Structure 1
Amino acid sequence: MRALARPSSGFLLILALLLLWEVSARFDWMNSPNWPPLSVVLAALARDSLGGELPLLLGGTLWRMFAGLLAGGAAGVIVGLLFASLPVTRRLFGLTVELIRPIPIPAIIPPLVLFLGLDNTMKVTVVGLTAFFPVLTNTMQGVRAVEADALAMGRTFGIGFWRRSLHIVLPACLPYVFAGFRVALALALVVTVVAEMIAGEQGVGHYLVLMQFAGRAPEMYATVILLAVLGYGLNRGFLAFERRALHWYFALGAQRN
Structure 2
Amino acid sequence: MRRPSSGVWLVLGLLALWEASARLGWVDSTNWPPVTEVVGALVRDSVTGELPLRVGGSLYRMFAGLLAGGLAGVVVGLGFALVPMLARLFGVVVELLRPIPVPAVIPPLVLFLGLDDPMKITVVALTVFFPVLTNTLQGVRAVEAEALAMGRTFGIGAWRRAVFIVLPACLPYILAGLRVALGLALVVTVVAEMIAGEQGVGNYLVVMQFAGRAPEMYATVLLLAALGYALNRGFVALEHRAIRWWFAMGR
TM-score by shorter chain over 0.5? yes
- Give 2:241's aligned residue: 244
Matches within 5 A, 1:22-33: 22-33=19-30
Give unmatched runs, 5+ long, in structure 2. none
In 1, the alpha carbon distance for the partners of 2:200 and 2:39 equals 20
Partner AA of 2:33 in structure 1: P
In 2, the alpha carbon distance for the partners of 1:119 and 1:181 equals 25
Give unmatched runs, 5+ long, in structure 1. 1-5
- Give 2:212's aligned residue: 215
In 1, the alpha carbon distance for the partners of 2:172 and 2:126 equals 21
In 1, the alpha carbon distance for the partners of 2:200 and 2:248 equals 40
Q: Kindly report structure 1 stretches of 4+ aligned residues shifted beyond 3 Å.
A: none
- Give 1:3's aligned residue: none
Structure 2 residue 80 is matched with structure 1 residue 83: yes
| TM-score, normalised via structure 2 length | 0.98
Partner AA of 1:22 in structure 2: E
**1:61 partner SS:** helix
In the TM superposition, residue 252 of structure 1 has moved relative to its aligned partner by: 2.0
Matches within 5 A, 1:150-161: 150-161=147-158
RMSD: 1.0
- Give 1:225's aligned residue: 222
Matches within 5 A, 1:1-257: 8-253=5-250
In the TM superposition, residue 40 of structure 1 has moved relative to its aligned partner by: 0.2
In the TM superposition, residue 32 of structure 1 has moved relative to its aligned partner by: 0.6
Which deviates the most, 107-116 or 245-254?
245-254
User: Identity over aligned residues, as a percent?
Assistant: 74
In 2, the alpha carbon distance for the partners of 1:246 and 1:124 equals 28
**What is the number of equivalent residue pairs in this alignment?**
249
Deviations 1:24-59 (A, max 9, x none): 000111111000000000000000011111000000
In the TM superposition, residue 200 of structure 1 has moved relative to its aligned partner by: 1.4
Partner AA of 1:121 in structure 2: P
Deviations 1:215-250 (A, max 9, x none): 000000000000000000000000000000111111
In 2, the alpha carbon distance for the partners of 1:121 and 1:46 equals 31
In 2, the alpha carbon distance for the partners of 1:58 and 1:200 equals 15
Deviations 1:160-182 (A, max 9, x none): 11100000000000000000000
| TM-score, normalised via structure 1 length | 0.95
In 2, the alpha carbon distance for the partners of 1:110 and 1:127 equals 14
In 1, the alpha carbon distance for the partners of 2:243 and 2:175 equals 9
**1:59 partner SS:** helix
Deviations 1:184-226 (A, max 9, x none): 0000000000000000110000000000000000000000000
Partner AA of 1:137 in structure 2: T
In the TM superposition, residue 7 of structure 1 has moved relative to its aligned partner by: 6.9
